Structure 1
Amino acid sequence: MTEGLMPDEIDDLARRARGGDRDALEALLAAVRPRTLNVCRGVLPHLADAEDACQDALINVANKIGSWQGTGRFTTWLHVVAVNSARSTYRRLKTQATPRDPHEPGAADRPDPRTTSVIAGTRLDLLEAMETLEREHPQYVEPLLLRDVYGLPYDEIAQQVGVPLGTVKAQIHHGRRLARPLLRES
């Protein structure tokens, strides 16, 4: 039974899984799958894309559980893993949709990615803004996404990224200023 586990119970499962308990790892993955899918759907609203990203995130959790320090909530660490998986999936989908030689066989059957959303329903301007920020100011992306997209509290973000609370607040504020001109008006 993994439905409705309390945060302390999830942390306990994660500690046991980190220690090599395979049954605990299986129970942990089952317990956090719905949360992971919801995080991925926040970036990739098209369900099939979000499910792919969720699967990647759960594989990363299983393979990298040892990198969770155990000092903060496991779910905060999971959020970061899920966001990164969703963004990687977005990048992969975007790359797959790049225009090709129009004379290539079958090219006429593919939609033009310059005019067609790669991922139905996604805020492409937000994803593009985060890609630009990541290239130019990578220190602002993770705190900004965790706060403004996923609503994590500042103290959890500070613990997750390993910087003082004041620094996290400043990074988020500055990240917002940099991202604002990159976003289209709704």
Structure 2
Amino acid sequence: MDRFRGEPLVAPTEDLARAAATGDATALDELLQAIRPEVLRRCARFLPCREDAEEAAQDALLQVARKITTFQGRSRFSTWLYTVVANCCRQKYRELKRRAAEQPVAIDTERHVDPRTTSVIAGSRLDLLDALDRLEREHPQLVEPLVYRDICQLDYAEAAERAGIPLGTFKSRLHEARKQVRPWLTEAS
């Protein structure tokens, strides 16, 4: 039975998130169960290898559980969640690249090259993650606008609010981020 309305329906995730943010452990458990499939889908958009996406999803769910009290409800929970997911996926990708650099992969003639370390298609998720890493090193202020708008697909106003900058500044930074990233994606082809 739904604690919020006394009906046998599941509470919306926004309500669960608000309750969990106040320390309601039952709401947090319900929230984690409700968002698990969406978190995995979003991680799979970033990381093509299913096992890596599953690991990133677990990391994201753990981050939600640890940091839910920082959710203040100024934006939608889904916006906050997309940021957590994007950051966990980017972190997982950096970890995979670091591991690959430390342990060169032997090429098996019967298998394809490891998709976690090599991109075959220009503009693929791996190329984008590489470009985001480079953008973060060279122009850190441009990363959030690109992630919020082009990856999380938030509308401009919500993305600007989430980034904590005026809409005009957000649009300007997004334009500059796209301008920076575009040639890097075509270099990979």
Same-fold call, TM > 0.5? Answer: yes
- TM tier, smaller: 0.7 to 0.9
Number of aligned residue pairs: 174
**Which whole-Å CA distance do the structure 2 matches of 1:53 and 1:129 have between them?**
19
Aligned equivalent of 1:181, options 178, 183, 186:
183
The amino acid across from 1:138 in the alignment is P
Aligned equivalent of 1:110, options 71, 94, 106:
106
**Which whole-Å CA distance do the structure 1 matches of 2:116 and 2:42 have between them?**
19
Partner of 2:5: none
Partner of 2:159: 157
**Which whole-Å CA distance do the structure 2 matches of 1:170 and 1:51 have between them?**
35
Contact residue 48 and residue 116 of structure 2 kept, 8 A:
no
Contact residue 134 and residue 141 of structure 1 kept, 8 A:
yes
Q: Could you give the per-residue CA deviations for residues 52-82 of structure 1, whole angstroms, max 9, x where no partner exists?
A: 0000001000000111121110000000000
Contact residue 54 and residue 82 of structure 1 kept, 8 A:
yes
**Which whole-Å CA distance do the structure 1 matches of 2:20 and 2:101 have between them?**
40
Partner of 1:104: none
Partner of 1:103: none
**Which whole-Å CA distance do the structure 2 matches of 1:120 and 1:5 have between them?**
42
Q: Could you give the per-residue CA deviations for residues 80-101 of structure 1, whole angstroms, max 9, x where no partner exists?
A: 000000010001111111155x
TM-score by length of 1: 0.84
> Cα distance, 1:184 vs. partner?
2.2
Partner of 2:131: 129
Identity fraction in percent: 48
Partner of 2:34: 31
> Cα distance, 1:116 vs. partner?
4.6
Partner of 2:147: 145
Residues 8-87 of structure 1: pairs in structure 2 closer than 5 A: 9-87=12-90
The amino acid across from 1:182 in the alignment is W
**Which whole-Å CA distance do the structure 2 matches of 1:23 and 1:149 have between them?**
31
Structure 1: state its 5+ residue gaps: 101-106
**Residues 116 and 138 (structure 1 numbering): CA distance in 2 closer, same or farther, change over 3 Å?**
same
The amino acid across from 1:72 in the alignment is S
TM-score by length of 2: 0.82
Contact residue 41 and residue 50 of structure 1 kept, 8 A:
yes
Structure 2: state its 5+ residue gaps: 3-8
Q: Could you give the per-residue CA deviations for residues 6-52 of structure 1, whole angstroms, max 9, x where no partner exists?
A: 8xx21211111011110100001111111211221111021111110
